Amino acid sequence: MSDKPHILVVDDEEDIRELVCMNLRRAGYAVTEAMDGLQAIAEVKLKKPDVMILDVMMPECDGLNVCRQVRANPETADIPIIMLTAKGQTQDRIEGLERGADDYLTKPFSPKELVLRVHSLLRRASTTLIISDLKEGPFHFDMRAVKLKVNGEPIDLTLLEFKLIQLLASKKGEVIERDTILREVWGYTDQVRTRTLDTHMKRLREKLAEYSDWVQTARGFGYVFKAPEVASCAD
Amino acid sequence: MSDKPHILVVDDEEDIRELVCMNLRRAGYAVTEAMDGLQAIAEVKLKKPDVMILDVMMPECDGLNVCRQVRANPETADIPIIMLTAKGQTQDRIEGLERGADDYLTKPFSPKELVLRVHSLLRRASTTLIISDLKEGPFHFDMRAVKLKVNGEPIDLTLLEFKLIQLLASKKGEVIERDTILREVWGYTDQVRTRTLDTHMKRLREKLAEYSDWVQTARGFGYVFKAPEVASCAD
DNA sequence: AACAAGAGTGACAAATATGTCACGAATGGC
DNA sequence: GCCATTCGTGACATATTTGTCACTCTTGTT
C-alpha cells in the first residue's frame, strides 16, 4: 500500500470524469480513470483501489453490474463504492445501495462534497484498520485483549488455543490443512511429524464445551470451523 | 452485545422519529429514541449504539454538536452516524461530513432508503471488523499473530509483554496510569498493591534493547510510549 | 470383515510465563 | 541537603503452557 490512498474513477462522461479526478488529485489522492465498466473491472484486478467512484449510467456494463461483480469477488468485496446517479433516479440509488454501494451522489454534485465523502469513507476504513473484533456465529474474538467469548460467556484460552480457533473462525467454512495450521499458529516452516496439534485441539474442544462441534475434523486433511449440522433424524 | 443491532434515533420532530423507528423495528433492528441532543448524549453513554441517526436542526444541542461530542470521545468515536438534514441545506451536509458524520439523508426521505443506508453502514462496520496491524514509529504490531517487529526485527515477547506495549503504543504520547494498565492488561478490577508491572516493564525494556527508551516512566503516574528526546547537548 | 492410517485421549515431563520479595537507585518536595 | 516515595533490579518460587508418548477409537479402503 502506497502513501496516497488510491481512488478509481469510472464514468463514460469525460468532463465529469476529469472534474472528479482533478478535485481528488488536488485533495492529495492518487487517481486512476476508467471510461467504462469493463475497463473498471480490469483496473480493479490490476490494482485494488482504496475507494471506487462509479457512474450508474454507462453503456454495455453499467455501474450496478460492476458493483455486483466487485462485491461477488472476496478479494475486492470490501472496496468502498460511491455511485454517481442522475437527478431524480431514486430507483437507481436504492438499487445501488441494495447491490452493495456504500454511498451515492446525484449529478450535478459539488466536488467539495465528493472529496469529503471519499475522505469519510477512507477515515472509516482506516480507523477500523487498527485493532478490532472478529465475530462468527456465537463466537466473539477480542483481538486486543486476546480473549474469546462464546454467546457472551468468556472462555479461558491459552495464547495457542486462541490463535488456533481464531485462524479457523476467520476462514469459516473452509477446511484448513494441518500443515497450514502448524505453519500459521506454531510458526513451523518445515513439515514436521507432530501430535501437538491433536493435543491442543482436544484441549480447545474441552474448553468450548457444547460449542466444540463448531470445530470439525476433516479426516486426512485438517479442520474446519462451521455451524454444526442440524440433526435430521428423530433422535 | 445483543443479537439485534442497536440504532439510536435522535429527532425533535415526533412524527419523523416515529416513522423512522417503526421502519427500523420492522427491518429487525433494536431502536432507542431521543428527542433532543442532550438526551442523545446521555443515551450514548448508557448504551453505545451500533448506528446513530441524528437530526441536524434541534434546539439547544443540535446534531452537529452531538456529532462533535460523540467523535471527541474515543469510546464512541467510531459510531456510524447518519445526519438528517432539511431540503436545500447543502452547507449543513458539508459541515456534518466535516464534523465526522458518515452519511446524510435529506427530508423528506424514503424510509426504505434510510433502512438500506443503515444496513450499508452496519455491513461495512461488520465486514471491516477484521484483524489488522498497528504501526507506531519503528514498532509494528501484528495483532493476528500476536507478534511485534521493531524496525523489521522480530522481538520475542510473552503475551503479557505484547499486550503491555501494545496498549501504550496505541495511545502514543499519552501517559497511561498504572491502575489503568493493571486493569487493561492484567484484568485487575480493584486497586492492588503489586510490583508485577514493574517487573514486566523491566523485562520488556530488556527485550526492546536500544528501543526501550520509547517506553518512558511518568513517575507517580504511569508510563508513556513516545519517541525519545533528541540529545540537546554536545554529549 | 480385516487392516492400515488418522485422530482422540490421558498422563507425564519439560519449558515458559508470571508474581513476590528485598534491596538499591532515582526522583521530587521541603 | 535530607528524607520519603516511587521505580528498577536480581533472585527465587509458583503457576501455567506446551509437547511427547503410548494406547485406544474411528474411519476409509480393499
Q: Which of A152, A173, A150 is nearest to A162 (CA)?
A: A150
Same domain, A104 and A20: yes
The pLDDT value recorded for residue B192 is: 80
Q: Does residue B234 fall inside a structural domain?
A: no
Using CA atoms, how far apart are residues B77 and B69, in angstroms rounded to an integer?
9
DSSP string, B199-227: HHHHHHHHHHGGGGGGEEEETTTEEEE-P
Contact check, Cβ <8 Å, A110/B132:
no
ipTM over 0.85: no
What is the CATH number for B12?
Answer: 3.40.50.2300
Q: Does B90 touch chain A (CB under 8 A)?
A: yes
SS (H, E, C) B162-196: HHHHHHHHHCCCCEEEHHHHHHHHHCCCCCCCCCH
Which residues of chain B neighbour A97 with C-beta distances below 8 Å? 113, 116-117, 119-120
B193-226 confidence digits (pLDDT tens): 899 999 999 999 999 999 999 999 999 999 999 8
A105 and A152 co-located in one domain: no
**Cβ atoms of A44 and A70 closer than 8 Å:** yes
User: CB-based contact (8 Å) between B125 and chain A?
Assistant: yes
User: What's the CA–C1' distance between A159 and C11, in Å?
Assistant: 23
Quick one: B114 and B212 in the same domain?
no
CA separation (Å) from A228 to A73, A175, A213, B41? 26, 14, 6, 42
Q: Is position B59 within any domain?
A: yes
Residues B93-126 have pLDDT tens digits of: 666 666 666 777 777 777 878 887 887 777 665 5
Structural domain boundaries enclosing B189: 133-225
Do B103 and B139 share a domain, yes or no? no
What was the pLDDT predicted at B73? 75
As a whole number of angstroms, the distance between CA A144 and CA B144 comes to 9
Distance B195 CA to D9 C1' (A): 12
Q: Please check whether residues A160 and A114 belong to one and the same domain.
A: no
Which domain-ending residue is among A107, A127, A147? A127
How far apart are the C-alpha atoms of B90 and B107, rounded to whole Å? 12
Q: What's the whole-number mean pLDDT along residues A84-92?
A: 69
| pLDDT computed for residue A92 by the predictor | 63
As a whole number of angstroms, the distance between CA A52 and CA A67 comes to 9
Whether residue B67 has pLDDT greater than 60: yes
User: What's the whole-number average pLDDT of chain A?
Assistant: 82
Chain B residues near residue A98 by CB distance under 8 angstroms: 116
Say whether pLDDT at B3 is over 70. Answer: no
Which grid coordinates belong to B186? 492484567
* Residues B217, B159 share a domain: yes
Q: What is the pLDDT of residue B125?
A: 57
pLDDT digits (tens, 9 = 90+) for B151-187: 889 999 999 999 999 999 988 888 999 999 999 999 9
Q: Does A25 touch chain B (CB under 8 A)?
A: no
Per-residue confidence (pLDDT) for residue B91, from 0 to 100: 65
The enclosing H or E element of A159 equals: helix A159-170
**Chain A residues 142-181, Cβ below 7 A from strand D:** 156, 158-161
Q: What is the pLDDT of residues B100-109, one digit of tens each?
A: 667 777 777 7
**B19 and B86 in a common domain:** yes
